[in-house]
Amino acid sequence: MQQSNPDYDLIIVGGGMVGLALAARLAQSQLKIAIIDPKPVEMSWDKSDYDLRVSAITRASQKLLDEVSAWDYIGQDEKTAYQRMYVWDGEASRGKIEFDAKLLAEPNLGHIIENRVLRRSLFQAIKPYRNIEFLSPQKCARVSYQAEQASIELADGKSISAKLLVAADGAMSWLRKNSGIEIKQKPYGHKAIVATIKTEKLHQETAWQRFDHNGPLAFLPLTDEHHCSIVWSVKSDYADQLMALDDKEFLQRLEQTFENTLGQCLETSQRVAFPLIERTAESLVQERIALIGDAAHTIHPLAGQGVNLGFSDVIELAKTIEKSINKNQDIGLKRNLRPYERARKGDILMMQKAMQGFKLLFEQDIPFIQMTRSYGLALTNQHPLLKQQLIKQAMGL
């Protein structure tokens, strides 16, 4: 039986930062695109409170946001450029390493931006394009695959189809699960505590990170110079202890761990803790489906690379789709999607192994390992060319 033409060329399940970035990147291709998400985009909010979820946006990710015009929708008072990174070992070894944008003759090392700001700006970037539909609030009920298209039945009973489905619906991806794609999971044994902290001293446009055997503690600068977003990744049982403390006790423990680097910790927002798990999809592509962002992989947040990996997925998948369009090929066939998988698998694996290695290295409290760790940090800090290469890689330059 002959199939009818699909309703869309591309359906993106998940309208978060990564899903919207893919739509924005392909907006001028004239593909007919649908985005499905259960949550409408938040367009305004009380700016006296920060979003607990923030991202450290690399220069490579900034370039993508700029190319799709989303960067234009981020106000100067909605992004914090950080000029320096200061990382130190809080154990007996006292090793440290500092990075400065001046070393690269760059204006900054990156930006800290609230996730809700990024999502809103990407939504604003796609609004002018009539070939993109944002279906929200809307949930998926069923997915099915045919030879020449894939179909999704929505919760309201409507069914829509496309040549290609893209799973951009997060770590617990509904589309990945219901498409039968397996996921490998390795718990880190850590939980991440996130909160917004008011500090006595100015953050100095610096991203700070202290390591000890419990895990890394990061203070990320926000637009108000006395406020930072913290990500405290610690062993799960210790995280539970920290979450059980009242605000005053928590701030005191935070000050001690951070060695009063920014003076007293004066106020905390609501605190949220979540388990950290390394996830890797068994494949990034199958017939009629591709995975991007957290639906494809998750890593430890100690290097702040999660969303940047997702944006790199967007860049490579968009290139792969555009090549198929230029050759008049079916964008949903696995053989035509394979270049995307080949381009991304190595980078994802390298980042996951690096995060696992850093975690294992810094959680050791054996004196010899601490001394070796300290020597390595100090040696790296004394070599400008090595530091330059490391920071360029982290920035995506």
Buried/exposed 353-389: b ≥16 CB within 10 Å, e otherwise: eebeeebeebbeeeeebbeebbeebeeebeeeeebee
Q: What are phi and psi of 393, to 5 degrees?
A: -65, -45
Query: Measuring CA to CA, how many Å separate 267 from each of 18, 90, 226, 227, 251?
Result: 32, 23, 10, 9, 7
Q: From the CB of residue 182, how many other CB atoms can be counted at a distance below 10 Å?
A: 11
pLDDT at 162: 98
Domains of the chain: 8-59+116-185+279-357 (3.50.50.60), 62-115+187-276+367-395 (3.30.9.10)
Q: Which amino acid is at 114?
A: E
Residue with tokens 């799709």: 68
Length of the chain: 397
For 170, the enclosing helix (H) or strand (E) is none
Closest CA to 158 of 36, 64, 241: 36
Tell me the C-alpha distance between 202 and 118, whole Å: 25
153 strand-pairing partners:
142, 159
Query: Measuring CA to CA, how many Å separate 303 from each of 54, 56, 231, 240, 321?
Result: 13, 9, 11, 23, 30
Query: Contacts by 353-357 with C-beta closer than 8 Å and gap 24+?
Result: 354/303, 355/278, 355/299, 355/300, 355/302, 355/303, 355/305, 356/186, 356/188, 356/278, 356/300
pLDDT at 391: 60
Query: Measuring CA to CA, how many Å separate 394 from each of 56, 57, 59, 206, 386?
Result: 11, 10, 9, 15, 13
**Token code pair at residue 298:** 């998750």
Tell me the C-alpha distance between 215 and 209, whole Å: 10
Asked if 13 and 167 touch (Cβ cutoff 8 Å), the reply is: yes
End-to-end CA distance of the chain: 51
Closest CA to 14 of 35, 30, 43, 42: 35
pLDDT at 1: 34
Torsion angle in degrees (nearest 10) through CA of 259, 262, 268, 271: -50
pLDDT at 2: 41
Asked if 150 and 118 touch (Cβ cutoff 8 Å), the reply is: no
Asked if 13 and 292 touch (Cβ cutoff 8 Å), the reply is: no
Q: Is residue 229 classed as helix, strand or coil in its secondary structure? A: strand
Residue with tokens 């935070």: 254
pTM to 2 decimals?
0.90
Mean pLDDT by 10 residues, the chain (397 residues): 76 98 96 97 90 92 97 96 88 72 84 97 97 97 96 96 98 97 92 97 95 89 97 95 98 96 97 94 97 93 78 97 97 98 87 60 53 54 55 60
pLDDT at 251: 98
